[in-house]
Chain A
Amino acid sequence: MEISELEKQQESLVLQMGKVGDGTVKTDDGEEVSEGQIVQLVSFTLDDVSYGVDILSVHEILRIPQITRLPNCPFFIKGVINLRGNVIPVVDVRVRFGFQAAKMTEMSRIIVIEAESKQIGLLVDNVSSVIRIKDSNVDPPTVFIDGVSEEFIAGVGRLKDRLVVILNLQNVLYTDQEIEDKKNLQLLTSDRKRK
């Protein structure tokens, strides 16, 4: 795909995102399925692998604004940005997933998502498109994805020609240790409730 074409696609993303509507929708594989059966993902590519974030959790997609570094924070926190008066942390997704950090380019974007009622910015190399997948084509995360901790994988979507790793970024702000602590805590409390 030409870069200019990609850019155009990105611009129109916001429009596409809103276009969830009437009755049946075409998946990216061309299947016609009813609206309830479809998963829509905002997708981006890291090192040749496609990743997708559920469109319902995505607030908006930004070009890179000025990022203020946050001291004394986990290494994958790129900093904070000013989003219309809100101070929002930005996670460098590459670093968080254990890839080599890369330079920001013209193509770099920040995907603003909402997790645990917090707004979080995800710094990604690019945002390619919105992908529609039939939910029956989404498998549980059995496939081992190189590098990415299974913590963040909600499932794998099968398209005709490729796979899309569907991400669950509820815990993207936390370090691995913190995530573990959190889980233990939940286990403990749910244990209590059961008894």
Chain B
Amino acid sequence: MAYSLGEYQDIFLEEADDQLQELNSNLLELEQNPDDEDTINNIFRAAHSLKSSAGFVGLMDLSELAHKMENLLQGVRDKTMKITPEMVDLLFKCFDHINLVIGKVSQGEEPIVDLSGIIEEIGQMQGRSSLAAEEKKEEAATDTGSSMSENIPKTTFSGQEKRHLKRGVDEGLSCYELTIFIEPDAPMKWVKAQLILNNIKNIAQVVKTIPDEENLTDEAIRDVLKLIILTDEDLREIRSACDVDLVNRIDILKISMEKKDNKFFIRFGDKQILSVTQDEVVSAGNDEKESVNSESAVVSYADEEDDADISESETMSVDFSGYNDRRESGGISRNAPVLRTVKVSVDKLDDLLNNVGELVIANSGFFRLYEDLKKIQLGKNVTNEFKNRIEQMARIAKDLQSGIMKTRMVPIGQVFSRFHRLIRDVSKECGKNVQLVTRGEDTELDKKVIDVIGEPLMHMIRNSIDHGIETPDERKSLKKSEVATVTLSAHQGGNQIFVEVIDDGRGLDTEVIRAKAVEKGLVTADQAGNLDNNEIYNFIFHPGFSTAKKVTDVSGRGVGMNVVREVVQEMGGNITIESEQGMGTRFIMAFPLTLAIIPAIMVSVKDETYAIPLTDVIETINISHKDITTIEGHEVINLRGEILSLVRLSQFVGVPLAFENEEDIPVIVVGYSSRKIGLIVDALEGKLEIVIKSLETNFRTVEGLAGASILGDGSIALILDVSSMINKVINEQERMSPEEKMELIKKQEEHYHAMKALELDAESDVVAEKSEFSLPVQDEDGETVDHMQKDYRTSGEEAYQSDIGSLTLNKKDPVDDISDYNYVKDEASNKQSADSGISNMDDYSLLKENSDKGRENSDFNDLQSDIASDIEDYEEEIDKEKEDKEAVDGDTDEEKTVIDDETGRIQKSVSSVTDSDSLNEAVKAEDITSSLEAVDVFKNETLPVTGHPLGEADEKVKEALKNFKHELNSNMRSALSSGDPDEHIKKKLSLNEDDLAKIKLLANVGITQAADSLSKIIDKRVDMAIPDVRLVPASKILDIEKHDVQKYVSVYMPLIGDINGTVIFNLPENSAYSLVDDLYSLKTGKTSALDEDGISALKEITNITGSSVINAFSERTGLSILSQVPNLLHDSLEAAISKIADEQYNVSNDYALTMDTEFYYEDDRIVGHLLILPDVKSLRVLVDNLRDNG
């Protein structure tokens, strides 16, 4: 197995190579101009980066060397040292060493290069040429570094130990000598030694320890612990056993025994330096081979009886000059790192991408050509063949394009993931407890940015941990969580990609920075006082600026942030700092979305073409002029129940309004984060792949533009920046004063109420008045009619909007909300179709109907709480309305059909009313009334009547509104006085909340199982809503079901045994058909009626689904429940349920427990809903049983 530094080896090698080159060239320059500060800074930076990256991949020696170089240069930078030729020589020598290490690594070899010599030389150099006192700490470190090898005690064996060794080896165990280097500064080394020893003892027999096990004191250990062990574990295991905090290095020597001439030789193999931070270990196999080589020292004599010490061979410490010789003799030549990646200049990629972009565009020309060819009828074969070829070419072009794209765009996750390790190491070094959170790893950045972003991120993270984050104790005292968080996040916003480093540490201390800036002479004290926070933060980007009190290995030299800003700016980005003292700091790097091909929708206004990135486009719709409503000068439309602000692109880009169609105005709905607007354009020009060119390169950012793109014909199309457009629109809206907003709301409410009142008022005189106010329709030509229509439409929509609101407000149960919402959604789509399809008269009626529905919905809820009292009144009214209806019958044909429809509906409703009990009737009656009212209103409005101006009508409307409110209030009062209906039911059944909770739990379990088995049968994922468990009056079972004109297939299955009741599976007709299709693996949409097979399939499904509920119930309660043969009804839901309810709940049964849930397919399409109705006696049994079982 080749030596490897892990997955970042390639990156490291590339970087190190670059840095070395930079170092070399800069050093040459420095030799010429010893006083050039820039050059010193450059060398310093390169050394700093090298240190970081070497440390990162685990090349600790190299990192240390770079650290020493940095120290040396620090002296030069501080002007405490002078550049001498000796120093330059030494630095070059250092580079050679580094080069050697990198060369070895790139060849897959272990970099065993002893750097201690050169490190010591630097130390000496520093001592000699230092003009001022050196940092003592560094010196100390240098000393220990050089003296380390002398600390290693010699290995000797006693006779007993040798016997032990031999026995072990004979048993097939491997013998190793472990030399463990403990960090010289580490406290309580003996504890660490003990820890390692214990770990090792778990996996190996320890033959000998040096120093003696009994003697493991701090003084004795002197940073090095030696162990001779016998084990059958592999090196990896050993390494992890030794990998204790603050262990610097682990050397492993394989010891083998050879018998020769009746004597045993103990042979020491090659040293393997296992740095603790290193993932890969050289396999043991290498050793054996090496140990035979002449280079490895064969040591020792001594037979079994001989007590003479066996001295250890010096572990191989390779002299640099030795390598040099070998290199020259052709043994090993330093090749450039062999990499699997090729560095390509981004410019070349740019060109390539441009060309490919044009290829794709050129290709689309062929399709036009094909269309033309088809027209001249060359014969099918030719054109087809032509088309095939085009498509093939298009495919290849696309592949090519996406291939090149891929080479450029790289997810930032790979950069982020590097830092888990760094955070762990650095936080350990600093004695802090830090976790890394990464967000937006999938965000793709240009390769160029990805390549360079690692280094700035590394600096910032190190800074954050070293300076920003408090020690665990401090955090504790500040009542912060002890584990600090560093967050790396990336996201795209507009035409920029943001990469952030966020810590929750102590934040930047503006005072300290200010003071330091003054001290460094960057500003005077006076000036400093006037600077705002941002200006102060910017000081930390200044070269050599550091507020750290001590220089550590990690940071504090003040190089970091300087490098960071340089790199970010080089990439055309910028960096900003947000900081809150005590709360943390956020570094935000913003990079432009440089070169990228993006799909875009091309639109035109006047003769200008603009591109809208497809990622910003939600949909494109066509609207007609009359769909547009103006609220406070802002144009809006209702898009499926949502108010969508419109922006005229022509206005935004400042071209005069083009001729506008009344119909088919193209609108592009664009969104940015959660906001959206509709862009009115003149025409859609189609989809195109475009290359973003920044406008900033030669100009600047332009509001509303993300850049420009060069099209196939060489012309320029500007790319719209949706985020800034939306922000602009929103700003404008937010600029409205609260009064204006109130006005807006009031206006909307008025619309709503006017609509309400129009529908509600059944009084004939009011109707008469209303007919008067439709007068203008007749007076002016078409336009006014349009206007009226628009008014109606808007108010209807708003009424409907409010309905959603009121639903949400009224309902407490989330399930209801969801189902209601779905219902409402259906309404919305109905409405949409109505809007688009029909004009004039039909439009009116449909609108009415929709409004009715919306209103029903809200009224229904109100009425639910009203235990009806005035049924008779309503019945009277029904009669009255019927008479009215007859009167209406005499009108025009067109009207008649509409009215006939209404009548049919009413009759149907009436018939179902007779089946239901009081409350239902009340509700029905209300429905009918309103329907009839609608008819009335309709009738009257279309009649040409002369009368009063609009103002009067307005008053009438208000009056009607007042009446309505009054009525509503009295209804609510009566509902309130009678209390919560559930309460008295509970009382009557002597149930408490606890019981109900248990039943709910039971229902949950049962229905979950049902969903499970349903999904198994149909082999699709089935989602379910949370079951809605309720105690209701028997009459209200129906209320749980939503009023729905749709036909349903209801399969019901009576339950007998300890529990009586019914399980009902209600499927909307279409859903039932598609379920049958699924079950018989038919083509979707094939089934359009239920035949015998279909019926039996649905019954079977219900059987299985229902049974799983019953089984769950049985299991939980221990009751025996049996199901009977399912029956099937194919009718409206109301009819079906009332029939089933009739069978189950005769008049004597007053209350019912309903468990109701809905099943959905993955795509939110409804499967159906399951309703479980145990009868009241069984409910008692169920509750008692649940109570007994706890």
Given A71-B705, A80-B716, A87-B708, are A118 and B653 neighbors across the interface (CB < 8 Å)?
no
Query: A87-B693, A89-B698 given as contacts; is B708 within 8 A of A80 (CB)?
Result: yes
For chain A, the count of residues having a C-beta within 8 Å of the partner chain is 22
Enumerate chain B residues within 8 angstroms of A72, measured Cβ to Cβ.
Answer: 653-654, 702-705
Whether A89 pairs with B705 at a CB distance below 8 angstroms is no
Residue of B nearest to A77 (CB): B699
Q: B700–A87 contact, CB under 8 A?
A: no
Q: With both chains docked as a complex, state the minimum distance between the C-beta of B650 and any C-beta of chain A, in angstroms.
A: 10
Contact (A85, B653) CB under 8 Å given A66-B715, A70-B702, A70-B718? no
Quick check: is B527 within 8 A (CB to CB) of the other chain? yes
Q: Which residues in window 694-746 of B have CB below 8 A to A?
A: 694-695, 697-700, 702-705, 707-708, 710, 714-718
Given that A70-B705, A72-B654, A87-B708 are contacting pairs, would A81 and B699 also be in contact in the complex, using a CB cutoff of 8 Å?
no
Give complex CA distance A80, B699 in Å. 9
- Complex Cα spacing A118 to B700, Å: 10
In the complex with contacts A66-B715, A70-B718, A86-B698 CB distance below 8 A: yes
A68 within 8 A of B: yes
Binary interface encoding of chain B residues 510-551 relative to chain A, with 1 for a CB under 8 A from any of its CBs, else 0: 000000000000111001000000000000000000000000
A87-B698, A88-B698, A89-B699 are known contacts. Are A195 and B524 too (CB-CB below 8 A)? yes
CB-contacts of A80-113 with B (<8 A)? 80-82, 85-89
Which residue on A lies nearest to B710, using beta carbons? Answer: A82
Q: Determine whether the beta carbon of B527 is less than 8 Å from that of A80.
A: no
Residue contact B699 to A118, C-beta cutoff 8 Å: yes
Q: Chain B's nearest CB lies how many Å from the CB of A87?
A: 5
With known contacts A69-B608, A70-B705, A82-B714, A118–B698 Cβ distance under 8 A: yes
Q: Are B716 and A81 closer than 8 Å at their CB atoms?
A: yes
- How far, in whole Å, are A119 and B703 apart by their CA atoms in the complex? 20
Q: CA separation between A87 and B700, bound complex, in Å?
A: 11
Q: Is the interface of A mostly helix, strand, loop or mixed?
A: strand
Contacts of B715 in A (CB 8 A): 66, 68, 82
> How far is it, in angstroms, between the C-alpha of A73 and the C-alpha of B704 when the chains are bound?
10
With an 8 A cutoff between CB atoms, is B354 at the interface?
A: yes
B794 CB to nearest chain A CB (Å): 32
A19 interface residue, CB < 8 Å from B? no
- Mark A49-75 against chain B: 1 for CB-CB distance below 8 A, else 0: 000000000000000001011111100
**Chain A residue with Cβ nearest B654:** A71
Contact yes or no, A82 B653, CB < 8 A: no
| Set of chain B residues within 8 Å of A85, measured between Cβ atoms | 354, 693, 710
User: What residues on A are CB-neighbors of B693 within 8 Å?
Assistant: 85-87
In the complex, whether B652 has a CB less than 8 A from a CB of chain A is yes
Q: How far is the CA of A7 from the CA of B655 in the complex (A)?
A: 35
> Does B354 lie within 8 Å of A71, measured CB to CB?
no
What is the CA–CA distance of A192 and B518 in the complex, to the nearest angstrom?
11
Q: With CB as the reference atom, state the residue of chain A lying closest to B652.
A: A71
CB distance from A68 to the nearest CB of B (A): 4
Interface: A173 (CB within 8 A)? yes
C-beta contact mask, B736-761 vs A, less than 8 Å → 1, else 0?
00000000000000000000000000
Closest A residue, CB atoms, query B609? A68
Task: List A108-125 residues whose CB lies under 8 Å from chain B.
Answer: 118-120
A71: B residues at CB distance < 8 A = 652-655, 702, 704-705, 718
**Cβ contact within 8 Å between B714 and A87:** no
**B698, B708, B710, most chain A CB atoms within 10 A:** B698
Given the complex of chains A and B, what is the CA–CA distance between A70 and B717 in angstroms?
10
Chain B residue numbers with a CB within 8 Å of A80 are 695, 699, 708, 716, 718
For B1137-1160 the 0/1 string (1 means CB < 8 A from A) is 000000000000000000000000
Assembly CA distance A75 to B702 (angstroms): 13
Q: Is the CB of A87 within 8 A of B695?
A: yes
**Among A68, A73, A87, A88, residue most surrounded by chain B Cβ atoms (within 10 Å):** A87
| Residue ranges of A at the interface with B (Cβ–Cβ < 8 Å) | 66, 68-73, 77, 80-82, 85-89, 118-120, 173, 192, 195
A-B pairs with lowest CB-CB distance, top 9? A71-B653, A68-B716, A89-B699, A87-B708, A72-B703, A118-B698, A87-B693, A119-B698, A88-B698
22 residue pairs A–B, Cβ–Cβ below 8 Å = A68-B715, A68-B718, A70-B695, A70-B705, A70-B718, A71-B652, A71-B704, A71-B705, A72-B705, A80-B699, A81-B716, A87-B693, A87-B708, A87-B710, A88-B698, A118-B697, A118-B698, A119-B698, A173-B699, A192-B523, A195-B523, A195-B527
